[in-house]
């Protein structure tokens, strides 16, 4: 099986996006993003004021959640693992099933989800309008103290746009500014030779295609809110957006169901179910070492004050 896979690999790699470093600067509106930052961390945006966007997208955890399934209003568990919000500006679609195209559209999903923030637009706008801070803050940017849901989602989306993490060791390697250690380089070569790069490619090393866990050997696990929910195509059952590998060493647990707790376990499962063979312990270690080189700088907007 492994020999067959390696023979087919050149065909699978054809026309795939190459790996590319994250830009060191991504243009965004600083004042609008700073307003979005306040909103992102404000539990007022949930119906019982118990959670904020940051509750499930923790800055200290690579912009993801440290729980397999996030906890929303009333202590309810969500249906899917919360993916990292870092570098989401580079994704070709948002949510695991890719049901919306833009960051602004995405912001409404958690706000309206009854298991997450359970907010109506009317209640949210009433709270913001009656707060001592928000009417003035929105007026400074939009020229009006009358807040609309479009203003709110634009601000949050602009903050999320600013959550890019440049200058990982691998980015520096791609720019020929540093070298990888022997183990990291071996992992990089394996990443390409084994075919991981067929799905994890482009600037986000993922986030630009849909795939199924278990393309070779079926994966037994829950698959709620998959691509089939969007397309109604039976072939899309169990299919999800390929996650970014950026900052992957920080964002455990893994997979859409949060069922995998370590990078080594994730590599073992992916090689078995999607490649059809087991990797040696040495190969696993090398791939783990390579994946650690994908940890970038914390977003500047989180490190800097206004």
Q: Are residues 85 and 176 in the same domain?
A: no
Of 161, 190, 220, which residue constitutes the final position of a domain?
161
Same domain assignment for residues 130 and 55: yes
Annotated catalytic residue within 34, 116, 158, 184: 116
The per-residue pLDDT for range 95-147, each reduced to its tens digit, is 999 999 999 999 999 999 999 999 999 999 999 999 999 999 999 999 999 99
Q: Residue 8: what pLDDT? A: 45
Q: Are residues 131 and 144 in the same domain?
A: yes
Residue 283 is a catalytic residue:
no
DSSP string, the chain: -HHHHHHHHHHHHTTPPPP-PPPS-----HHHHHHHHHHHT-GGGSTTS---HHHHSBGGGTTB-SSSS-B-GGG-B-SS-----TTGGG-SSBSTT--BSSHHHHHHHHHH-TTTT---HHHHHHHHHTSSSHHHHHHHHHS-SS--HHHHHHHHHHHHHT------HHHHHHTTSS---HHHHHHHHHHHHTTGGGTS-TTTTSSSSEEETTSSS---S--TT-THHHH--GGGTTEEEPPP-TTGGGS-SBSTT--B-SHHHHHHHHIIIIISSPPPHHHHHHHHHHHHTT--PPPHHHHS--
Residue 306 in domain: no
Q: What total of structural domains would you count in the chain?
A: 2
What are the pLDDT tens digits along the chain (306 aa)?
Answer: 454 444 444 444 444 568 999 999 999 999 999 999 999 999 999 999 999 999 999 999 999 999 999 999 999 999 999 999 999 999 999 999 999 999 999 999 999 999 999 999 999 999 999 999 999 999 999 999 999 999 999 999 999 999 999 999 999 999 999 999 999 999 999 999 999 999 999 999 999 999 999 999 999 888 999 999 999 999 999 999 999 999 999 999 999 999 999 999 999 999 999 999 999 999 999 999 999 999 999 999 998 764
Are residues 195 and 95 both part of a single domain? no
Asked whether residue 109 falls in the same domain as residue 221, the answer is no
Residue 172 burial (CB count, 10 A): 16
Q: What is the pLDDT at residue 14?
A: 40
Domain co-membership, 195 together with 120: no
- Residue 211, domain CATH: 1.10.760.10
For residues 214 and 275, what is the distance between their CA atoms, to the nearest angstrom?
9
pTM (predicted TM-score):
0.93
Range of the domain at 103: 30-161
Last residue of some domain: 137, 161, 185? Answer: 161
Residues 95 and 155 in one domain: yes
């Amino acid at each position: 099986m492994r020999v067959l896979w390696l023979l087919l690999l050149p065909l699978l790699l054809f026309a795939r996006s190459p790996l590319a470093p994250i830009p060191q600067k991504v243009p965004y509106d600083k004042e609008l993003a700073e307003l979005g930052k306040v909103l992102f961390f404000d539990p007022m945006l949930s119906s019982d004021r118990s959670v904020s966007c940051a509750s499930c997208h923790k800055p200290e955890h690579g912009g993801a959640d440290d729980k397999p399934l996030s906890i929303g209003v009333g202590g309810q568990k969500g249906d899917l693992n919360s993916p990292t919000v870092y570098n989401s500006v580079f994704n070709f679609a948002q949510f695991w099933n890719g049901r919306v195209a833009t960051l602004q559209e995405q912001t409404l999903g958690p706000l309206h989800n009854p298991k997450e923030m359970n907010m109506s637009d009317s209640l949210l706008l009433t709270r913001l309008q009656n707060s001592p801070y928000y009417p003035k803050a929105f007026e400074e940017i939009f020229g009006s103290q009358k807040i609309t849901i479009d203003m709110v989602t634009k601000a949050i989306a602009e903050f999320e746009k600013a959550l890019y993490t440049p200058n990982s060791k691998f980015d520096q390697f791609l720019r020929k500014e540093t070298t990888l250690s022997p183990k990291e380089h071996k992992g990089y070569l394996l990443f390409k030779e084994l075919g991981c790069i067929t799905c994890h490619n482009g600037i986000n090393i993922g986030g630009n295609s849909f795939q199924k866990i278990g393309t070779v050997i079926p994966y037994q696990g829950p698959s709620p809110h998959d691509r089939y929910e969007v397309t109604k195509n039976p072939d899309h059952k169990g299919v999800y957006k390929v996650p970014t590998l950026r900052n992957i060493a920080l964002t455990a647990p893994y997979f859409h169901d949060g069922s995998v707790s370590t990078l080594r376990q994730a590599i073992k499962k992916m090689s078995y179910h999607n490649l059809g063979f087991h990797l040696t312990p040495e190969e696993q270690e090398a791939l783990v070492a390579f994946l650690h080189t994908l940890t970038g700088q914390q977003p500047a907007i989180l490190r800097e004050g206004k």
